[in-house]
Amino acid sequence: MTASGRPAGRRRAAAACRWLFIPLALPVAAVSVVRAVPVEWPVLGVQLVAFTPWLTVPAAAALVLAFLGRSRWQRVLAGSLLACQAFWLFPVDVRGPAAEAAGRPVSLVAMSINAELGDADAAGIVDLVREQHVDLLAVEEYTPQLSRRLTAAGLDGLLPHRVAHPRDGAGGTAIYSSLSLKDGGVLPATQFTMPVASLDLADGSGAALRVVAVHTLAPVGDAVGQWRRDLATVARADSGSGPLLLAGDFNATYDHREFRALLAGQGGGRTLVDVAASLGSRLVPTWPMRGYRLPGITLDHLVTSRDITASGYSVHRIEGTDHAAVVATLRIPVP
């Protein structure tokens, strides 16, 4: 190639980069608007915003193309988009626990698993309960068949107390515990059963942990309204005093405004803590573990009142389900 041909080639390459920038940057910009503007977006916006952490990749690629294309306005746009993604990757509004309350703390290991229509490997669940020394287990999509398989696999020997609402399909939920449980009914007006239980922390002294096994309807099709109502109902489950644990499949990520509203106590309750976010693990995906060819996102959460401190958060695959189990050790104050 002649020297005179090289500038023309560079101009063509720069022009190509400027054209390639557009289909790369526009989706990032669109989802960023949904993430930034606090309104009730339609279902497609709700679904796409769940994948916000992954937008860092195309945003960075768009910035590279903007520099290669020698376009000032593209560099400004791409730099702004990448700055937004970095800000949302490491949010400043993550609240940790409050100062540890006075009294003798009780430690227990909590776990949640969505069993995907009851098809999760019961032996795998029981093995994980045993290995992690789990004291409290919430199971979503809990069917009568899964209940029997868990019993046959030995779960009742490890966690003999339960509040269970088995249903065929996706609607059943259960809470298992090594400590005594008192049935507190279910949350009202939800598509899936969300049982409430009181867990005795100190051998009849009256100290108790309020537990809600959470499973909101997925924001798919016309269900986005019910999804919002489910999250609002979960937010109102906070009695306003005493330690609280919300454990389960929220079908929401930290990037959803509705989930952040729940944590902020906008339903009238206290500010709450997402255990994974407070421990720097909010980007560890819990779905999909199989089936859908999608980037992983975090739909399953352990959420606590701020008087509870947490450690040892971990995520574990279970055969037979598209969700991962989430596990953490909780330290709960006892007067």
Distances (CA, A) of 157 to 74, 150, 154: 62, 10, 6
Whether 97 is in a domain gets the answer no
Domain boundary among 48, 64, 89: 89
215, 254: one domain? yes
Max mean pLDDT among 9-23, 91-105, 126-140, 278-292 falls in: 126-140
58, 155: one domain? no
Distances (CA, A) of 202 to 16, 104, 128, 133, 137: 68, 10, 25, 19, 19
Query: Mean pLDDT across the stretch 264-268?
Result: 83
The pLDDT score that the predictor gives to residue 268 is 76
Query: Mean pLDDT across the stretch 155-164?
Result: 98
124, 243: one domain? yes
Residue 5 has pLDDT above 60, yes or no: no
30, 115: one domain? no
Q: Which CATH number covers residue 119?
A: 3.60.10.10
140, 207: one domain? yes
Whether 99 is in a domain gets the answer no
Confidence at 103, pLDDT banded by 50, 70, 90: low
149, 15: one domain? no
The pLDDT score that the predictor gives to residue 314 is 98
Whether 96 is in a domain gets the answer no
As for how many domains the chain has, the answer is 2
140, 228: one domain? yes
Asked, as a colleague might, if the bond just before 288 is cis with ω within 30 of 0, I would say yes
Q: What's the domain range around 226? A: 104-334
Residue 252 has pLDDT above 80, yes or no: yes
222, 326: one domain? yes
* pLDDT tens sequence across 200-234: 997 666 789 999 999 999 999 999 999 999 999 99
Query: Mean pLDDT across the stretch 189-209?
Result: 88
